[in-house]
Amino acid sequence: MKISTGPSLTSVSIRSPQSSSTSSNSYLTNQIMQQIGTKDGVLDTDALKQAGLGPSFAEFDMTSITPAELGLVSKNLYALGLIDKTTANLMISAGTNLDAVGNQATPDVKMNALDYFAARIDNLRSANLESNEYGFQVVPDYINTVYVIQNLNDFAKAQRAESDPQASVKDQASSPGINIRV
């Protein structure tokens, strides 16, 4: 929407504010994220930085990642001792559709990892209401995996900003909000 008024103010652009971290997530994901929140420090990102792995993870994007990429990230984090085996296995199996012989059918199709894990948490909670003990026991593991992915995503954003200081300025300039041109 543009508004023009008088000689001193030529135009005003108003865009609705949105949180960039949830704008590409589904409604269900946003609901689950509100319920579980975030938890900093679940992933020791300082260890990643000290090991010089910042550039390796700079392109990580939890909203656009293939199951194969997420599996590779998981294997690396596990090998570094930064996540436990349960979290690694949940990340490896995320978004996988298996063919008749048990191979991943679409390992290179991009997905939103948060959408995947939020749907799993919701399904497991629903199963828990039906006295499914498995759902009750594994929901905390899925929530922890979400925290790891969020921590890694924040780390990746910080690495991109460090490697290209102009990127953070560009992100701010293109972010939703109020833009006034005089």
The DSSP-derived string for 46-89 is HHHHHTT-HHHHTT--TTSB-HHHHHHHHHHHHHTTSS-HHHHH
Between residues 122 and 95, the one the model is more confident about: 122
pLDDT of 85 reads 97
Q: What is the Cα–Cα distance from 15 to 1, expressed in whole angstroms? A: 8
Average of per-residue pLDDT values in the chain: 80
Confidence of residue 174 (pLDDT cuts 50, 70, 90): very low
- pLDDT tens per residue across span 55-85: 999 999 999 999 999 999 999 999 999 999 9
pTM here is: 0.75
Question: What is the distance between the terminal CA atoms of the chain, rounded to a whole angstrom?
Answer: 16
- pLDDT tens per residue across span 9-48: 333 333 333 334 445 788 999 999 999 999 999 999 999 9
Across residues 114-127, what is the average pLDDT?
A: 92
Between residues 29 and 163, the one the model is more confident about: 29
